[in-house]
Structure 1
Amino acid sequence: MKGCSYNFWPRLVAALLAVLCLAGPLPAQEKFRRNPPYPDPLPSLVLPPVESEVIGNGLKLMVISRNNNRLFNLQVLIRAGESDSPAELPGLATATARMMLRGTASINPAEVEERLAFLGIEYSIEVQADYSIFSFSFLDENLEEALGLISLFFVEPSFPALELSAVKRELYYQLLRRNQDPENAGYDFFLKRIFAGSGYNPGILEAETIKNISTREVAQFHQRFLRPNNSIIIFNGQVSLAEARRLAAQNFRRWVPRPVERPSVQKLENRDLNQVCFLDVPGPEVAVIVGNLTVPIASPDYHPLLVLNHLLGGTTGSRLFLQLRELKGLAFYAFSDLSFFRGNGLYWIRAKTSPPAIVETMAAIQQTMRSLSEEKIAPEELERAKAYLMGNLPLQLQSPEALSRRIGLLELLELPPDFWARYSQNIMPVNADSVQVVARKYLSTRPLVVIAAEAAGTLDYLREFDKIDVYNRKGQFQGVFQKGVLKYENR
């Protein structure tokens, strides 16, 4: 026993000390988790120098000289997109862009594919509402041959009828699949309602009208908009401005300029929309889209809006996700985003939920938006949001393709040349007051709400709403749901 007693006390004292050491710092550790330190200052974003020049046919060259990467990226940007498609033929801009690489006057479609593969060219085509981007990546040693091939797509596209049939078929089934997803269908419908009556197409394609596109209309769209004086070509890699000038003049000399006229865009204002729309989309899932207009990207409100959006629903650490999913378990996810168009901008919230939880989900979204308008942001939450935004941009610019695209957007969106270089400097001054100002300006007005779900299993859960406009899956108005009764439009 004496032996045991002798060994027991030192061990007991040591154990008590250990417990005290562990217990003592706990409140401080918890406080640290609740109030993390301010982030260290981030280094300035240093972008490679960009040189530019306009050659004889009006084609603008932009050269990003890099000597540390053998991967070359070449992009051709066109100031034309789906907003330039005829109102009766949405999808023409997209179909035309996809047809550009489907054969030329001197190379048939099969040979095009062979030469692209032989030169190791990876490409992508992006058509937005206001612009189109053709991006080509390959090894820098293949620059001359690659540019010789790429130039033919713009100088002498042939638009074979058989290839157009294939393009239309691909587009048709892609749109059908897209519209089967409630969130995609709901967002497209949301955009239509936001821009209704403005004469502007924010990039919405219609599966049923794709089949009406002809080779004649594709050729006319190309003749009208895909002109060198309406285009920008970006060289990103080991090349000088003088070399880029020589290559562009040599390969694009037959690309003939023509006057390009684009209609002006109506400036739309943030206002009380105060409408709830139900889009009947088959399936068990429910998507809720909430949003309103803001301002164009060039507005002074842009950087405070970025911070506000991050606080609202930019990531899984933002308020919407934490409130709706983590805390209340109402939604599978909830995020917010900003979209920008020529002359306009908008914010939109998307949440995926279940029919019984729709009303509570919308109430939680409304409360989260209201809190940002009525309450000042805590300093630590604000600094975390700003640090994320400033630290994330350099990650988005790591690939040559992403860097080219960002530089090109400066021209397409008519932004200052140092817009991205000064990004952090413009985010840093954003404070709680400026965030609250934009929150009150854009989140306080009553938004447009779109609920995309199957009507048969969902409308019964929406009896609390005074009025819901009901549309079928094609976006055609069907009737009004009031106090639990669906009143069909008189036919």
Structure 2
Amino acid sequence: MTDALRGLPGDDREAPQGVRRTVLPSGLRVVTERLPGVRSAAVGLWVGVGARDERPDEVGAAHFLEHLLFKRTPTRTAQSVAVEMDAVGGELNAFTTKEYTCFYAHVLDEDAALAIDVVADIALRGACDPADVDLEREVVLEEIAMREDDPEDLVGDLLVEAVLGGHPLARPVIGSAESIESMTAERVRAFHGERYRPRSMVLSVAGNIDHDDIVRRARAATGGDAAAAAAPAPIRSGRAAAAEGGRLVVHPHDGEQVHLAIGIPTLGRGEAELRWPLAVLNHAVGGGLSSRLFQEIRESRGLAYSVYSGIETYADAGVFSVYAGCRPDNLAEVAVQVRRILESVGRDGLGEDECARSRGALRGGMVLGLEDSGARMNRLGAGELARGHHIPLSESLDRIAAVTCEDVRSVARDLLARPRSAVVVGPFGDAAELPAPLFDVLGQAPAQ
């Protein structure tokens, strides 16, 4: 590889397991992983822009823009893109999160160049024509309506808002009907022009590919020589935001079930040393079939079909959550059991057998989850945006194996003593109709 193709000096380096990284003069980072045993290539153009980056008058703009960019570019239409990808049996899509947006394609290895050209054309040169804005507005409004009809999705969005309060991360990625109805072509176009810059982007490619060839293709597709040398955008960082919590939200919804979500503010990626103890804790509490929540609430008592815990971690904040969907008559007993489990773990921690089982589940799940090129591409792109470097799989596995029960106990004591918030979506008009045990979970007095 010649120096002219290396981008910024010293930024091209070999990492374990075939991972390589090059920074182009525009600031675009190109990260690849060669997987010679497959015949596919997964391509992702990641933009370090998400819902948290929107101003109050732009709520939903990042997700709206993701939709809109597929409509047309100077050289392609939505139909011609569909024809190009269908002709090679490829998959093309995109998604928006709180912190980033990704445009991705999955193709045969011989079609990697086409995939790079298409995703770059869409993300960088997609148009924001007024006619397309009005058309896609209806599509996004339908998506919002669909979420309203899916209580499990709705309760998750409402919980993040309840736990994080006024933090930008509390905004729903999809926006609201009001914000989408007021969105204009000018506003979306300005959001695109201001935010979608190569220095805030990562091109990640995994599969049977050659890094040097991918760099050449990236330069051609993104205009990598057009800009003066630019450093990549700063990595999002920070310590965990101040704990808020302590809110109760009741969202009336007709249905046969009540959907309960309980949330606790937790660490952001700035607390990296606590990541794996928290993951072990989460798996033991409600992350697997052997977890306490699943065994006690579903298997032993039959109070709910779906019950689990989860973690959402962002640069400077996070949420630990518990979810259960049950019949209204079972809500009180579900709340009793959730409180008992959380208090027991917060007081006594986990047993050695639980810690060992959770470590094993995390390590096995991580390895099995990276068995295809798409998963590898996602790990590369999200990791580069989050940390600015690649963590080898072996290092992550070693960190999980090193977690002790005392590490988990320390995290549990702190986390489970924090203020809790709850969201109830179901056939209740207000908090006064909720059973008293639910307020016990929150450490609050029942509503009068």
Q: TM-score range by the shorter chain?
A: 0.7 to 0.9
What TM-score do the two structures reach when normalised by structure 2?
A: 0.87
The whole-number CA distance in structure 2 between the counterparts of 1:94 and 1:280 is 26
Distance 1:251 1:218 in 2: 23
Return closer, same or farther for 1:310/1:303 CA change in 2, 3 Å cut-off.
Answer: same
- TM alignment of 1:169-208, pairs within 5 A: 169-204=138-173, 205-208=175-178
Tell me the residue number matched to 1:253. 223
How far did residue 47 of structure 1 move? 6.7
Aligned to 1:328, which of 301, 304, 326? 301
Aligned pair partner of 2:363 in 377, 390, 403: 390
Structural mapping, 1:215-364, within 5 Å = 215-253=185-223, 267-270=240-243, 273-298=245-270, 299-364=272-337
Secondary structure in structure 2 of the residue aligned to 1:48: helix
- TM-fit CA distance, 1:256: 6.0
The size of the alignment, in residue pairs, is: 427
In structure 1, the residue corresponding to 2:354 is in which secondary structure? helix
Distance 1:149 1:423, change over 3 A: closer
Please state how far the C-alpha of 1:134 moved relative to its aligned partner.
Answer: 1.1
Which residue of structure 1 aligns with residue 398 of structure 2?
A: 425
Provide closer, same or farther for how the CA distance between residues 108 and 424 of structure 1 changes in structure 2, counting only shifts above 3 A.
closer
* Alpha carbons of structure 1 residues 389 and 146: separation in structure 2 relative to 1, 3 Å: closer
Q: Distance in 1 between matches of 2:317 and 2:282?
A: 17
Asked if the contact 2:162/2:247 (under 8 Å) is kept, the reply is no
Classify the secondary structure of the residue corresponding to 1:170.
Answer: helix
| C-alpha distance in structure 2 between counterparts of 1:296 and 1:181, whole Å | 28
SS at 2:342's partner residue?
Answer: helix
Provide runs of 4+ in structure 1 moved above 6 Å. Answer: 258-266, 464-469
Shift in Å, 1:233: 0.6
Paired with 1:284 and 1:47, the residues of 2 have a C-alpha distance of 52
**SS at 1:301 equivalent:** helix
**3-state SS in 1 of match to 2:183:** coil
How far did residue 345 of structure 1 move? 1.5
Aligned pair in 2 of structure 1 residues 233, 463: CA closer, same or farther (>3 Å)? closer
% identical aligned pairs: 19
Read off the aligned partner of 1:207 and give its amino acid letter. A
Deviation at 1:306, TM superposition (A): 0.6
CA contact (8 A) 1:59 1:233 kept: yes
Aligned twin of 1:380: 353
Larger CA deviation: 214-223 vs 343-352: 214-223
When the two chains are superposed, the root-mean-square deviation of aligned CA atoms in Å is 2.8
For 1:106, which of 75, 82, 86 is the aligned residue?
75
Residues 285 and 292, structure 2, Cα contact 8 Å, conserved in 1: yes
Task: Identify the match of residue 56 of structure 1 among 14, 25, 49.
Answer: 25
Contact (CA 8 Å) 1:182, 1:285: kept in 2 or not? no
Q: Which residue of 2 aligns with 1:4?
A: none
Q: Distance in 2 between matches of 1:92 and 1:186?
A: 22
Aligned residue in 2 for 1:366: 339
Amino acid at match of 2:43: L
1:162 corresponds in structure 2 to 131
Contact 2:42 2:107 in 1 (8 A): yes
Match of 1:79 among 41, 48, 65: 48
TM-score by length of 1: 0.80
Paired AA for residue 354 in structure 1: R
Which one-letter code corresponds to 1:332 in the other structure? Y
- 8 Å CA contact 1:178, 1:185 repeated in 2: yes
Is residue 149 of structure 1 aligned with residue 121 of structure 2?
no
Give the structure 2 partner of residue 404 of structure 1: 377
Residues in 2 aligned to 1:111 and 1:191: alpha-carbon distance in whole angstroms: 39
Amino acid corresponding to residue 304 of structure 2 in structure 1: A
Q: Which residue of 2 aligns with 1:9?
A: none
CA contact (8 A) 2:335 2:437 kept: no
Comparing 249-258 and 349-358, the one that deviates more: 249-258
Residues 53 and 62, structure 1, Cα contact 8 Å, conserved in 2: yes
| Cα distance in 2 between the residues matched to 1:255 and 1:320 | 54
Q: CA contact under 8 A between 1:468 and 1:482: conserved in structure 2? A: no
Shift of 1:232: 0.8
Greater mean alpha carbon deviation, residues 284-293 or residues 352-361: 352-361
Moved more, 373-382 or 214-223: 373-382
Between the aligned partners of 2:340 and 2:258, the Cα distance in structure 1 is: 20
* Structure 1 gap ranges (5+): 1-45, 470-479, 484-491
- Matched position secondary structure for 1:67: coil
Q: Give 1:459 deviation, angstroms.
A: 5.3
3-state secondary structure, aligned to 2:45: strand
**How many Å apart are 1:182 and its aligned residue?**
2.5
Deviates more, 1:160-169 or 1:80-89: 160-169
Distance 1:291 1:148, change over 3 A: closer
Corresponding residue SS for 2:58: coil
Q: Is the 8 A contact 2:33 2:376 kept in 1?
A: no
